[in-house]
Amino acid sequence: MAAPTRIALIGCGFYAQNHLAAWRDLVPEGAELVAVCDTDPAKAAAAAAISRVPAYTDAAAMLADLAPDLVDIVTRVETHRALAEIAVRHARGVIVQKPFAPTAEDARAIVDAAARAGVWLAVHENFRFQPPLRRAIDLVEAGRIGPPSWARLHFRTGFDVYRTQPYFLTETRLCIADVGVHILDLARRILGEVTHLTAEIQQRNPRLVGEDTATMLLRHENGAVSVVECTYEARREPDPFPETLLQVEGPIGAIIVNAGGGIELTEGGAMTRLAPGYAFAPWMDPRWGISQAGCLEACRHYLARFRAGRDAETSGKDNLRTLALVEAAYASAASLGPMRPSPV
Ligand code: NAD
Ligand code: 89Y
């Protein structure tokens, strides 16, 4: 049997709780969490206690002590470059939570540092791994609707994201950088690369610094068009948070992903309802379950690809293209015109 993959995790805050649970679930597939680190000693100690591993408050010290196989960085975006640059000196693989970096230049610097060190690099971009969305991707790839030519992908919620992620209140770039990045990534995954996009942004909640709503129109290289929407200001019940809903059309059918994970698949002129084909793990909270399931499936993918010596779907290099869409969206919103994404 292959040796376990020794994983060190950096950042034990809000979302890292899902990574800790995912790595526990993935022990039978070769994951072995060996240490956790947070600059806040209480958070490091709490994560260490539930995972029964040593706690560190200094990432460089942890990595120098343990030389893990894989480092999982789950801190906020402004810390990613510095931590990734340390991690590539001590490990064979590094995973960085989305958003990959605050600027395209920082993201490129991380990709280059990993390449120079010969280190495997992935971005934890997990929406494309959420079970209903992955099922839709699989249906498209199986040719069930023919080559997709139009799609609407939307994340519309009024859930109080500011309670769970209070740092949102002061972000100058909010909705596209935080959640739009996932949906743009998903649009790329389903319809292919983008030639140009137009974005309109709004700040509907006056308490904020950044935008809370974005409406984006994308033209893909294969001629397909998609509408990508994200907002934290949709007052609708039932509120689908944290689900992304999807409609995708091709020449011979259509796929609709509804709230609750059910899918309506039209092919051959007839519609079939596919019931959600997954169950939440016991540690998942029904309010966050689809996000947590996406986190688990993303970690499973990264572990398997790292162990097989294969690039992740969402490698660092791949994610430069998703970040280019984020940059193009902000540039379009500022100039009120269409923008071509240009990965650095
Ligand atoms: P958070 O502030 O709750 O947690 C970040 C933690 O990192 C804090 O505990 C902080 O003390 C620690 N930290 C900061 N600098 C550090 C350093 N140098 N070394 C060690 N620890 C350090 O933030 P969060 O909400 O958990 O977000 C973390 C990341 O996860 C962000 O990039 C966010 O966008 C992402 N996120 C992703 C999803 C998703 O679905 N993929 C959902 C929520 C958040
Ligand atoms: O931070 C966001 C993310 O990545 O997924 C959902 C979220 O937690 C709130 O928008």
| Consecutive H or E run containing 310 | none
Most ligand 2 atoms within 8 A of CB, residue of 129, 178, 230 to mutate: 178
Confirm or reject: Cβ of 18 under 6 Å from ligand 1.
no
CA-nearest residue for atom 1, ligand 2, is 178
Report the length, in residues, of the chain.
344
Atom of ligand 1 nearest to the CA of 59: 19
Ligand 2 centroid – CA 233 distance (Å): 14
Ligand 1 centroid – CA 254 distance (Å): 37
The arithmetic mean of pLDDT across residues 31-50, rounded, is: 98
- Tell me if 255 sits within 8 A of 264, measured CB to CB: yes
Report the candidate in 82, 76, 24, 10 with the shortest Cα–Cα distance to residue 299.
Answer: 24
Ligand 2 centroid – CA 116 distance (Å): 32
| Residue 343: per-residue pLDDT | 79
Confidence of residue 342 (pLDDT cuts 50, 70, 90): confident
Over 90: is that where the pLDDT of 141 sits? yes
Confirm or reject: Cβ of 98 under 6 Å from ligand 1.
yes
Confirm or reject: Cβ of 149 under 6 Å from ligand 1.
no
pLDDT digits (tens, 9 = 90+) for 222-262: 999 999 999 999 999 999 999 999 999 999 999 999 999 99
Report the candidate in 92, 96, 60, 89 with the shortest Cα–Cα distance to residue 322.
Answer: 96
CA-nearest residue for atom 4, ligand 2, is 179
Give the HSE-up count for residue 267: Cα atoms under 13 Å, Cβ half-sphere.
15
CA-nearest residue for atom 5, ligand 2, is 179
Rounded Cα distance between 173 and 342, Å, is 19
pLDDT digits (tens, 9 = 90+) for 116-134: 999 999 999 999 999 999 9
Say which range, 65-69, 168-172, 286-290, has the weakest mean pLDDT: 286-290
Ligand 2 centroid – CA 21 distance (Å): 18
Ligand 1 centroid – CA 304 distance (Å): 24
The arithmetic mean of pLDDT across residues 300-326, rounded, is: 98
Q: Among positive and negative, which fits the CA dihedral 20, 22, 28, 31? A: negative
pTM of structure: 0.97
Confirm or reject: Cβ of 290 under 6 Å from ligand 2.
no
Confirm or reject: Cβ of 35 under 6 Å from ligand 1.
no
| Residue 50: per-residue pLDDT | 96
Confirm or reject: Cβ of 162 under 6 Å from ligand 1.
no
Q: Exposed e or buried b for every residue in 104-123, given b needs 16+ CB within 10 A? A: bebbbbbbebbeebebbbbb
- Tell me if 6 sits within 8 A of 69, measured CB to CB: yes
Over 90: is that where the pLDDT of 143 sits? yes
Confirm or reject: Cβ of 97 under 6 Å from ligand 1.
yes
CA-nearest residue for atom 33, ligand 1, is 76
Percent of the chain with pLDDT over 90: 97
Backbone torsions φ then ψ of 152, nearest 5 degrees: -125, 125
Confirm or reject: Cβ of 161 under 6 Å from ligand 2.
yes
Q: Among positive and negative, which fits the CA dihedral 290, 296, 302, 304? A: negative
Ligand 2 centroid – CA 320 distance (Å): 19
244/1: higher pLDDT: 244
* Lookup: tokens for 106: 């920082």
Over 80: is that where the pLDDT of 344 sits? no
pLDDT digits (tens, 9 = 90+) for 229-238: 999 999 999 9
DSSP type of residue 274: E
Ligand lying closest to the C-alpha of residue 156: 2
Atom of ligand 2 nearest to the CA of 242: 6
- Tell me if 273 sits within 8 A of 151, measured CB to CB: no
Over 90: is that where the pLDDT of 339 sits? no
| Residue 112: per-residue pLDDT | 98
The arithmetic mean of pLDDT across residues 279-285, rounded, is: 96
Over 90: is that where the pLDDT of 337 sits? no
CA-nearest residue for atom 9, ligand 1, is 13
DSSP for 139-206, written as a single string: HHHTTSS-S--EEEEEEE----HHHH-GGGGG-SS-HIIIIIHHHHHHHHHHH--EEEEEEEEE--ST
Over 80: is that where the pLDDT of 1 sits? no
pLDDT digits (tens, 9 = 90+) for 156-213: 999 999 999 999 999 999 999 999 999 999 999 999 999 999 999 999 999 999 999 9
Confidence of residue 20 (pLDDT cuts 50, 70, 90): very high
Q: Mean of the per-residue pLDDT values for the chain?
A: 97
Ligand 1 centroid – CA 237 distance (Å): 29
How big is the chain by its Cα radius of gyration, in Å?
20
DSSP type of residue 224: -
Ligand 1 centroid – CA 98 distance (Å): 10
The arithmetic mean of pLDDT across residues 58-69, rounded, is: 98
